[in-house]
Structure 1
Amino acid sequence: MVHPAVRSAAPLLLVALLATGCARPAGGDAVAAAASGLRAPAQSAPRDLPAPALRTPAGAEAPAGPSLPPLPGIGPETLAEVPADTRQVLISSTPGPADTTATTVLFERAGDGWERTGEYAGHNGGAGWKRDRREGDRTSPIGVFSLSDAGGSLPDPGSLLPYTHEPELRTGAAAAYGEDYAAVFDRVIAIDYNRQPGTPPNDDTRPLGWDAGGKIWLHVDHDSPTRGCITVDAEDMVHLLRTLDPAAHPHIIMGPADDLAR
């Protein structure tokens, strides 16, 4: 489903420096999402999708239901946060909580277990990971989150997830941060941390409040840490868009290895 183009007026680019969880250029503050000031059109209604939980708070009990087979490196508490009907899981992790070079691995259900079907190199937040992250702290959130919506500055490459084509994401990034970063948002998958599932990735709704941050995306890598997003190579983004299937209820498990092993 393609939503109408959104505004890309120059003054809104200044808002992008403060209002997003995505990347900033290397060699200083991380690349901010140039799309932050590009609001989704007011007439865009949420898609008719079931709204998965935004996150399971630490220490909360997971809903009762069938247990999932174990995932490599994932402990029982973390696994309990993954819905039983999930058949595709991305695990994005680093060895330590302050590390910024992330490895993301795709697992798909195969019989009574999981099959490792992809591995992708990239980055996470420039200040590492944090379970209770805040707006602007440059950390990536720790937890288990659904993946329900996608989009980008380039046309839909055959995404199974609902895809919103927003050319302004590229022109805005280039105008604000230079041509070297124009392709950062060519392809994005929204991570359902503090957002309303069933809306375009650029939607500004934050159910947990503004201070918790938002617009945490999977997007194209730029060889540097981010303000909270997870990155993979451009070709890997296309592969994930063509692979992650809403019918498989895809989720991402993200954080440092020790935390995910709890």
Structure 2
Amino acid sequence: MTVRRALALVIGAVMCTGVLGTGCAQQPSKASSRNSQPPGTSASPQAGPPRAFPRPLPGVGPAMRARLPDASRQALVVTGATESSNRAQAVLYERYPAQGWRAVAGPWPAHNGLRGWTDDHEAGDLHTPVGVFRLSDAGGRLPDPGTRLPYDQDPEFAVSGTGHLGEPLEGSFDYVIAIDYNRVPGTTPLDKTRPLGEDKGGGVWIHVDHEGPTNACVSLSEEHMRALLTALDPGKEPVVVMGPESVLER
């Protein structure tokens, strides 16, 4: 081998070694580096399902919800279209630990006071009081339909005459549920004790509808009264939340 050829072979070997050291060997791409994870691991954390929150009482805003007793798990929401409306809609809700409030009966058509609603009820003003009130006692002229509330069957629940539209009132008190407005809970709805005084009215009930507005009560059909009476459970501390939509939603 000539000296010239030997020199050429040495130079070529040196050049190839340099090229191999600076990139001839295959390098992993950025993409392949990112995707190279140990078995059983994820390339990026996966977002979990959105957190669910218990549903608040529908149609009732924060101001009125703040008046709900903490232990109440049943609420009859009676909503009037306007402050002067004497027609309303009633829905019975129950509260579940994970789901929150859920409708269990209704909507049912209802009547309320002839002149609508008020947050400052006075005796004889023909308005239904606005607010949150407990439902603790029931009664009526007819036998107990199977309610868990204390029930007083008494012939004194009889009523006669005509209502504001000339409709007969007979049978209106066949079933009643006392609304705990200006009364002593734990007594018959017929009890006339008025802790706030006679001027603030009383005897505000949920009773059988007579196809017309009331003096101050809320009225439902006889069928819906029976359904409500059998659904209410004193262990769930039932309340009625009632008033015009504009006030309930505050």
Q: Which of residues 68, 85, 88 is equivalent to 1:102?
A: 88
Partner of 1:63: none
Partner of 2:63: 77
> Would you say 1:242 and 2:236 are equivalent positions?
no
- The answer to whether the 8 A contact 1:125-1:225 is kept is yes
Identity of aligned residues (%): 48
Q: Which of residues 82, 104, 115 is equivalent to 2:102?
A: 115
- The answer to whether the 8 A contact 1:91-1:104 is kept is yes
SS in 2 for 1:196: coil
- The answer to whether the 8 A contact 2:81-2:87 is kept is no
Counterparts of 1:126 and 1:78, CA distance in 2:
23
TM-superposed CA distance for 1:111, in Å, is: 3.0
Q: Show structure 1 runs of 4+ deviating over 3 A.
A: 176-180
Counterparts of 2:162 and 2:91, CA distance in 1:
30
TM-superposed CA distance for 1:110, in Å, is: 2.3
SS in 1 for 2:168: helix
SS in 1 for 2:83: coil
Kindly report which structure 2 residues correspond to 1:82-161, keeping only aligned pairs within 5 A, or say none: 82-112=68-98, 113-119=100-106, 120-161=108-149
Kindly report which structure 2 residues correspond to 1:1-262, keeping only aligned pairs within 5 A, or say none: 69-112=55-98, 113-119=100-106, 120-170=108-158, 173-174=159-160, 176-177=161-162, 180-262=168-250
**What do residues 65-90 of structure 1 show as CA deviations (whole Å, max 9, x unaligned)?**
xxx85111111110010011101000
Partner of 1:44: none
Determine which structure has greater relative contact order: mean sequence separation of CA pairs < 8 Å that are 6+ residues apart, divided by chain length. Answer: 1
Counterparts of 1:241 and 1:167, CA distance in 2:
19
- RMSD value, Cα: 1.5
TM-score by length of 1: 0.71
- The answer to whether the 8 A contact 1:95-1:257 is kept is yes
Largest Rg, 1 or 2: 2
TM-superposed CA distance for 1:139, in Å, is: 0.1
Q: What are structure 1's unaligned runs of at least 5 residues?
A: 1-67
Please tell me the residue identity of whatever aligns with 1:114.
W
Please tell me the residue identity of whatever aligns with 1:186.
D
